[in-house]
């Protein structure tokens, strides 16, 4: 198997395992794993073409949000359940770890650099989600709409 396929399988397993920890209903474990694999595939593809983790993270969070919105409408579940499990693969955990590590060993310059990179990645996740939520469901041709998107909801 190729290295990319192994990464996608690992993303599927990791995201499915996180969905167990996140108390997702059992019937959605595979869906959450699928969302995580999609997210990691998008991240790898965009990062391969642009060589910019910030762009890859933004595009991945945008795609994950759209996929999560679609699944939430199809399965009458919350978008957050799919989105949080899917975003698990792109959270800048290593960058945050290295920020703390370099801060502890006294390398302030590297700690600031890693910390700034962590903040940029976190902001790109938030911006991707924001952009994806600003897209109307009608753009996708979805006939159904979740209650959270209805303006007449009281």
Query: Is the pTM for the entire model greater than 0.95?
Result: no
Q: How far apart are CA 116 and CA 122, in angstroms?
A: 10
| Mean pLDDT on 115-141 | 90
pLDDT averaged over the chain? 90
| Residue spans of alpha helices (H) in 22-52 | 29-50
Q: How high is the pLDDT of residue 28? A: 94
- The pLDDT, as a whole number, for residue 38 is 96
Which pLDDT value is given to residue 11? 94
pLDDT classification of 148: cutoffs 50, 70, 90:
low
Nearest to 142, CA basis, from 77, 28, 39, 66: 66
Nearest to 36 by CA among 61, 54, 59: 61
Local confidence band at 66 (pLDDT 50, 70, 90 cut-offs): very high
């Amino acid at each position: 198997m190729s290295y990319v396929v192994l990464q996608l399988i690992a993303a599927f397993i990791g995201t499915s395992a996180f969905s167990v920890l996140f108390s997702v209903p059992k019937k959605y474990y595979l869906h959450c794993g699928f969302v995580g694999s999609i997210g990691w595939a998008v991240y790898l593809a965009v990062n391969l073409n642009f060589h910019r983790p910030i762009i890859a993270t933004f595009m991945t969070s945008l795609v994950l949000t759209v996929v999560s919105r679609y699944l939430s409408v199809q399965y009458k579940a919350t978008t957050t359940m799919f989105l949080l499990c899917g975003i698990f693969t792109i959270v800048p955990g290593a960058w945050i770890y290295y920020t703390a590590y370099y801060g502890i060993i006294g390398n302030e310059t590297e700690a600031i650099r890693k910390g700034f990179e962590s903040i940029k990645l976190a902001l790109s996740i938030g911006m991707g989600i924001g952009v994806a939520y600003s897209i109307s469901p009608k753009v996708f041709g979805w006939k159904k709409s979740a209650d959270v998107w209805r303006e007449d909801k009281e």
